[in-house]
C-alpha cells in the first residue's frame, strides 16, 4: 500500500452521511483526471513488486511461535533511512493491516532492461536482511501468506485477549484482538469498525475443515448447523494475510487497459500455482488459498445487498464483496466476454458518459462506485475536484480486486499502471522473485506475440473458486482459451513485424526491444535493450520511450483512447489476436478445461504453454549471461511446479502437518506443530535447509542475482545508446 494520509477519521455515522458526497466528488475527480491524462504517451516499462511479511517470535523453551506485534516500532526504524535519503534507499517500507506485518517494495521501480530481472531476488534478500538486522535473536521476518495459528489462543506477543463484548473494540472478534491491528495509523481500525457497522454484524468467514479420521465435530466455534466449518469473525483473518503483488507501467492508457484484460484470466491460474495458505486458526482446512477468506473478511454488504432480505434502504443487490475478482474487461476486444451482469447506478454511469468517458471505462468506474466509503478523514472531506483525487482514490483503493487499473497520480511523472494482485506470498526470495519476473515477462510476451487470454468473466470467476481447492495445482482443471498457433508461428510473426518496423525506421535494430518485435509498434512499451528511442533528457530516470509509440502515433486524438490499439485495425473480430480467425474453432470449443500443467507447459494443438512462449520470446532478446541464468532458474522452477514435480507451498505445509509426530489426525495444528513448521520455514528462507519437494535440489546456488547492474553491462548499454543504470 502507498503512503497513508494523516488525519482524524470520522465516526461511522459521519462517514455514512458523506457517502454520496464522496461518490459525487470522486466521479468528478475521475472525469477530470481522465481528461488531463488520457493522451499521456510513451511511458516506459517500469515495474515493481510488493511483498508483505509477518514478524514471528519464537519461544524456544516452550516451543511456541507467535506473531510479534512489532510493526510500528520496526517501521519507525526502517523509515528513518528513507526520510534521510528518499531517492537513495534500496527499499521502502509501509504498514499493513496487522500489527505484526510490514510491506516492503524496492526503493524505486525496476526498468525496461533485461538485466533488471536479475535485480529482483537480490533486492528481496536485501529487504529481508534489512529487517532481520533490527530483530531480536528469537524473532524472524517471514513471507508466509498466513500465520497458521492466527486467531488461536495466545497467538500474539505480547499476549492480548479479544474483547467481543467491549463496545469500544473495533473488531469485537472472539479470536482476533484489536491489539493485532496496526496501531500506528487510524485507517486500519477505522476500516474494521466501519465494515462491521455497515454490514450490520461481524464479518463471517467460513472454511470447511479438512476432515481427517479423528477430526472432532463440531469444530470449535462452528456456526449452528454447520459442524464442519472453521468460522473466522474478523477483518484481521483476511487482511492480516500476506500476498505478493506487482505493478507495471504501460506506455499509455490503451496498453494499460489491454494488459489489465489479458492478465485477468491469469489471476486464478497464478493463484493456484502460488497457493500457500491451507491452515486457519490452527485447523487444516479444505482451502489452499487466502482469497475467499480475505474477500469475506471485508464484506461490508448489508443483508439487503447480499440478497437475504428484500431491498429497502439500499439500491442494489451486489453479487460480490468489495474484495474479489474483477467483474468486467476494459478493452474493446474484452467487451464481448463481459458476461456477468455489472451492477452500477445508472445516474453515475451517465455522468461518466456525459463527462466523455467511453462505455467500458464508465461501466468499470460506476461499478467501483457502488461501494460506500468505509474510511473518511475530516481533513479530506472538502477537496478541489480539478486537482485532488482523494475521493476517487478512497473508493478505488477499497475495491480490492484481482487486477487494479491505476490512473497516474496527480502531478507526478508516473503513468497509467496495472496491478496484478492474486498471488500468495512464497517462503523464499527465490520463489517470490521467480513469480514476479515470470508475470512481467508474460506481459512482454502478451504484447510481442499478441497473445489473447480473454475468457468470459463467468468462467474466470469459476476458475477463482477452483484455484482455491486443495491441491488444485495438481488436481483441478481450469477454463482456458484455446490457441493452436505454435510458438514458432508466433515468433515468426513477431519477427516479421519487427523487421518491417526496422525497415521503416533506419535506426531500429531487429533485436532491439524488450518487446522483441512488431508488436512494439502496437504497444510501444518497452524497453529497449539497445536503446532505440531512448530519451536522454533525464539522467536521473533514464527514459526508454521506444520510438514505436511515436511511430504509430498512439492515441491520435481519440478521446476514448481505445481505438488506436494497433490490433483493432487488423480486422479480427476479437481484436488483439488472430487466433480466433486463424483456426476453425467454433466459439464453443474456444474455451477448454486445462490443467495447470497444460497451461504452463503446453498441450499439443490446444495451447503452446506459458513457459514455452516465454522461452521462445527470450530467444529474440539479447540477455547477459547472468540474467539469462537467473531467468532460466525461475522458468525451470515454474515449469516444475506446474507439472507437479515440485509441490505448492500449501501442499508442502499440509504434508509437514500430516507427517508431524505430534499430529493426531484431528486436523489440529497444535502450538508445537506450528512451531516446528515455522522453524522449518525459517531454515528454508535462510537457505540453511534445502527442501527438494518445494524447490528442487540446491536451487539457491543457481541464480546469479545481483543487487546492481554490472558496470560492463552498463557500458555496453551506453555504447549501444542505452541508458545507464543508477545505483
Ligand atoms: P499500491 O497501489 O499497492 O499502494 P504502490 O504505489 O505502493 O502500490 O507501489 C507498488 C509497486 O509499484 C512498487 O513495487 C513500486 O516499486 C512500483 N512502482 C512505483 N512507481 C512505478 C511506476 N511508475 N510504474 C510501475 N511501477 C511502479
Ligand atoms: Mg499491501
Ligand atoms: Mg499493492
Q: Can you tell me the distance from the alpha carbon of 425 to that of 506, in angstroms, rounded to the nearest whole number?
A: 45
Q: Which ligand is nearest to the CA of 110?
A: 1
Q: Which of 5, 40, 48, 82 is the pocket-test mutation for ligand 1 (most atoms within 8 Å of CB)?
A: 48
Contact between residue 345 and residue 369 where contact means Cβ atoms under 8 Å apart: yes
Helix 429-449 and helix 487-504, axial crossing angle in degrees, nearest 10: 60
**Quick one: cell of 94?**
509501509
Q: Which helix (H) or strand (E) holds 229?
A: strand 229-232
In this structure, of 18-32, 309-323, 584-598, the range with the lowest mean pLDDT score is: 584-598
Cis peptide before 218 (omega within 30 of 0): yes
Is the pLDDT at 584 greater than 50? The verdict is no
Dist. CA 419 → ligand 1 center (Å): 8
Helical spans, DSSP H, in 644-721: 649-658, 671-685, 692-695, 711-719
3-state class (DSSP) for residue 476: coil
Atom of ligand 1 at shortest distance to CA of 48? Answer: 14
Predicted local confidence at residue 505, as pLDDT = 65
Four-residue CA torsion sign, 702, 707, 709, 711: negative
Q: Which ligand is nearest to the CA of 251?
A: 1
Q: Which ligand is nearest to the CA of 109?
A: 1
**Residue-wise over 652-662: b if at least 16 C-beta within 10 A, else e?**
bbbebbeebee
Q: Which ligand is nearest to the CA of 101?
A: 2
Confidence of residue 476 (pLDDT cuts 50, 70, 90): very high
- CB contact set of 127 (below 8 Å; sequence gap of 6+): 51, 91, 104
Contact between residue 661 and residue 651 where contact means Cβ atoms under 8 Å apart: no
Four-residue CA torsion sign, 472, 473, 474, 478: positive
Environment of ion ligand 2 (residues, CB < 5 A): 1, 103
Q: Which residues line ligand 1 (CB under 6 A)?
A: 1-2, 46-50, 105-106, 109, 247-249, 414, 417, 419
Average pLDDT over residues 293-320: 97
Is the pLDDT at 529 greater than 50? The verdict is no
In this structure, of 17-31, 71-85, 409-423, 481-495, the range with the lowest mean pLDDT score is: 481-495
Helical spans, DSSP H, in 428-525: 429-449, 457-467, 472-475, 487-504, 519-523
Atom of ligand 1 at shortest distance to CA of 50? Answer: 14
362-381: pLDDT as tens digits: 999 999 999 999 999 999 99
Q: Can you tell me the distance from the alpha carbon of 505 to that of 632, in angstroms, rounded to the nearest whole number?
A: 32
pLDDT averaged over every residue in the chain: 88
What is the largest distance, in Å, between two alpha-carbon atoms of the chain? 74
Dist. CA 49 → ligand 1 center (Å): 7
Q: Nearest 10 degrees: CA dihedral of 413, 102, 96, 172?
A: -170
CA distances from 399 to 90, 403, 672 (A): 29, 10, 38
636-652: pLDDT as tens digits: 999 999 999 999 999 99
Atom of ligand 1 at shortest distance to CA of 2? Answer: 4
3-state class (DSSP) for residue 267: helix
Beta bridge partners of 535: 543
In this structure, of 311-320, 378-387, 512-521, the range with the lowest mean pLDDT score is: 512-521
Dist. CA 490 → ligand 1 center (Å): 31
Is the pLDDT at 230 greater than 50? The verdict is yes
Atom of ligand 1 at shortest distance to CA of 105? Answer: 14
Dist. CA 107 → ligand 3 center (Å): 15
Q: Can you tell me the distance from the alpha carbon of 358 to that of 361, in angstroms, rounded to the nearest whole number?
A: 6
Q: Judging by beta carbons within 10 Å of its beta carbon (0-12, 13-18, 19+), is residue 626 exposed, middle or buried?
A: middle
Q: Which ligand is nearest to the CA of 409?
A: 1
Q: Which of 45, 107, 247 is the pocket-test mutation for ligand 1 (most atoms within 8 Å of CB)?
A: 247
Dist. CA 508 → ligand 3 center (Å): 36
Give the E-state strand segments of 546-697 in sequence order: 591-595
Dist. CA 678 → ligand 3 center (Å): 26
Confidence of residue 589 (pLDDT cuts 50, 70, 90): confident
Confidence of residue 710 (pLDDT cuts 50, 70, 90): confident
Q: How many CB atoms lie within 10 A of CB 310?
A: 8
Environment of ion ligand 3 (residues, CB < 5 A): 50, 245
Predicted local confidence at residue 3, as pLDDT = 54
**Quick one: cell of 16?**
455514512
Ligand 1, atom 4, lies closest to the CA of: 1
Predicted local confidence at residue 586, as pLDDT = 56
Q: Which of 79, 106, 109 is the pocket-test mutation for ligand 1 (most atoms within 8 Å of CB)?
A: 109
149-162: pLDDT as tens digits: 999 999 999 999 99
Average pLDDT over residues 419-429: 98
Q: Which of 1, 50, 102 is the pocket-test mutation for ligand 1 (most atoms within 8 Å of CB)?
A: 50
* Stated length of the chain: 727
**Quick one: cell of 465?**
473458486
Contact between residue 648 and residue 641 where contact means Cβ atoms under 8 Å apart: yes
Confidence of residue 484 (pLDDT cuts 50, 70, 90): confident
Contact between residue 188 and residue 230 where contact means Cβ atoms under 8 Å apart: no
Contact between residue 298 and residue 195 where contact means Cβ atoms under 8 Å apart: yes
Beta bridge partners of 477: 595
Dist. CA 4 → ligand 2 center (Å): 12
Four-residue CA torsion sign, 376, 379, 381, 387: negative
Which of 210, 61, 193, 72 lies closest to 134 in space, CA to CA? Answer: 72
Dist. CA 244 → ligand 2 center (Å): 8
pTM of the prediction?
0.90
Predicted local confidence at residue 509, as pLDDT = 43
Average pLDDT over residues 484-497: 87
Indicate the pairing of strand 477-481 with strand 591-595. antiparallel
Confidence of residue 544 (pLDDT cuts 50, 70, 90): very low
Dist. CA 274 → ligand 3 center (Å): 17
The span from the first CA to the last CA of the chain, in angstroms, equals: 25
Dist. CA 44 → ligand 2 center (Å): 24
Q: Can you tell me the distance from the alpha carbon of 64 to that of 675, in angstroms, rounded to the nearest whole number?
A: 5
Indicate the pairing of strand 323-324 with strand 400-401. parallel
Amino acid at each position: 500500500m502507498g503512503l497513508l494520509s494523516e488525519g482524524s477519521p470520522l465516526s461511522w455515522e459521519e462517514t455514512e452521511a458523506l457517502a454520496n458526497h464522496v461518490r459525487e466528488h470522486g466521479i468528478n475527480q475521475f472525469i477530470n483526471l481522465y481528461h488531463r491524462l488520457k493522451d499521456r504517451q510513451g511511458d516506459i516499462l517500469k515495474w515493481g513488486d510488493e511483498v508483505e511479511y509477518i514478524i514471528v517470535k519464537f519461544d524456544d523453551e516452550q516451543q511456541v511461535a507467535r506473531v510479534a506485534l512489532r510493526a510500528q516500532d520496526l517501521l519507525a526504524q526502517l523509515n528513518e533511512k528513507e526520510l534521510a535519503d528518499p531517492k537513495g534507499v534500496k527499499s521502502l517500507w509501509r504498514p499493513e493491516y496487522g500489527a505484526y506485518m510490514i510491506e516492503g517494495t524496492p526503493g524505486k521501480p525496476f526498468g525496461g532492461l533485461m538485466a533488471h530481472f536479475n535485480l529482483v531476488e537480490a533486492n528481496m534478500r536485501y529487504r529481508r536482511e534489512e529487517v532481520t538486522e533490527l530483530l531480536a535473536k528469537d524473532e524472524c521476518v517471514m513471507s508466509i501468506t498466513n500465520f497458521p495459528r492466527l486467531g488461536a489462543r495466545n497467538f500474539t506477543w505480547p499476549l492480548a485477549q479479544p474483547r467481543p463484548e467491549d463496545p469500544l473494540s473495533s473488531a469485537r472478534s472472539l479470536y482476533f484482538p484489536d491489539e493485532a491491528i496496526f496501531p500506528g495509523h487510524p485507517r486500519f481500525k477505522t476500516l474494521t469498525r466501519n465494515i462491521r457497522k455497515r454490514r450490520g454484524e461481524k464479518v463471517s468467514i467460513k472454511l470447511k475443515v479438512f476432515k481427517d479420521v479423528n477430526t472432532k465435530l463440531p469444530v470449535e466455534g462452528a456456526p449452528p448447523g454447520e459442524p464442519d466449518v472453521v468460522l473466522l469473525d474478523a477483518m484481521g483473518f483476511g487482511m492480516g494475510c500476506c500476498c505478493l503483488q506487482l505493478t507495471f507501467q504501460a506506455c499509455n492508457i490503451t496498453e494499460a487497459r489491454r494488459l489489465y484484460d489479458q492478465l485477468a484470466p491469469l489471476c486464478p491460474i497464478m493463484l493456484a500455482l502460488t497457493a500457500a495458505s491451507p491452515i486457519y486458526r490452527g485447523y487444516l482446512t479444505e482451502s489452499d488459498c487466502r482469497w475467499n477468506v480475505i474477500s469475506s473478511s471485508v464484506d461490508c454488504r448489508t443483508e439487503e445487498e447480499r440478497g437475504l432480505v428484500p431491498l429497502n434502504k439500499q439500491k442494489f443487490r451486489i453479487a460480490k464483496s468489495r474484495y474479489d475478482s474483477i467483474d468486467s474487461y476494459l478493452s474493446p476486444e474484452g467487451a464481448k466476454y463481459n458476461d456477468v451482469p455489472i451492477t452500477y447506478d445508472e445516474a453515475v454511469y451517465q455522468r461518466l458518459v456525459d463527462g466523455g468517458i467511453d462505455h467500458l471505462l464508465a461501466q468499470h468506474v460506476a461499478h467501483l462506485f457502488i461501494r460506500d466509503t468505509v474510511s473518511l478523514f475530516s481533513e479530506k472531506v472538502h477537496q478541489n475536484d480539478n486537482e485532488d483525487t482523494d475521493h476517487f482514490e478512497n473508493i478505488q483503493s477499497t475495491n480490492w480486486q484481482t487486477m487494479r487499473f491505476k490512473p497516474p497520480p496527480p502531478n507526478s511523472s508516473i503513468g497509467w499502471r496495472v496491478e496484478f494482485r492474486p498471488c500468495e506470498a512464497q517462503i523464499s526470495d527465490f520463489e517470490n522473485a521467480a513469480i514476479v519476473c515470470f508475470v512481467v515477462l508474460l506481459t512482454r510476451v502478451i504484447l510481442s506475440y499478441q497473445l489473447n487470454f480473454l475468457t468470459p468473466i463467468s468462467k474466470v470467476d469459476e476458475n477463482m473458486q477452483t484455484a482455491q481447492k486443495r491441491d488444485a495445482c495438481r488436481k483441478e482443471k481450469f477454463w482456458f482459451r484455446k490457441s493452436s498457433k505454435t510458438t514458432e508461428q508466433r515468433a515468426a510473426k513477431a519477427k516479421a513485424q519487427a523487421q518491417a518496423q526496422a525497415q521503416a525506421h533506419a535506426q531500429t535494430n531487429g533485436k532491439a526491444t524488450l518487446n522483441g518485435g512488431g508488436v512494439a509498434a502496437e504497444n510501444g512499451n518497452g524497453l529497449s535493450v539497445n536503446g532505440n528511442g531512448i530519451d536522454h533528457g533525464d539522467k536521473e530516470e533514464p527514459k526508454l520511450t521506444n520510438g514505436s509509440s511515436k511511430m504509430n502515433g498512439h492515441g491520435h486524438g481519440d478521446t476514448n483512447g481505445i481505438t488506436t490499439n494497433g490490433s483493432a485495425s487488423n480486422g479480427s473480430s476479437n481484436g488483439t489476436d488472430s487466433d480466433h480467425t486463424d483456426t476453425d474453432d467454433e466459439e464453443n470449443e474456444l474455451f477448454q478445461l486445462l490443467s495447470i500443467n497444460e497451461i504452463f507447459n503446453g498441450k499439443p494443438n490446444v495451447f503452446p504453454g506459458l513457459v514455452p512462449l516465454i522461452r521462445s520470446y527470450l530467444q529474440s532478446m539479447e540477455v547477459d549471461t547472468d540474467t539469462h541464468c537467473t531467468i532460466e532458474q525461475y522458468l525451470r522452477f515454474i515449469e516444475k511446479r506446474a507439472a507437479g514435480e515440485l509441490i505448492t507451498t500449501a501442499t508442502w505445509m499440509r504434508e509437514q502437518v500430516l507427517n508431524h509426530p505430534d499430529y493426531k489426525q484431528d486436523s489440529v495444528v497444535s502450538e508445537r506443530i506450528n512451531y516446528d513448521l515455522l522453524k522449518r520455514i525459517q531454515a528454508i528462507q535462510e537457505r540453511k535447509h534445502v527442501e527438494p519437494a518445494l524447490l528442487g535440489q540446491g536451487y539457491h546456488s543457481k541464480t546469479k542475482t545481483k543487487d546492481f547492474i554490472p558496470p560492463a553491462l552498463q557500458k555496453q548499454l551506453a555504447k549501444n545508446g542505452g541508458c545507464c543504470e543508477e545505483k
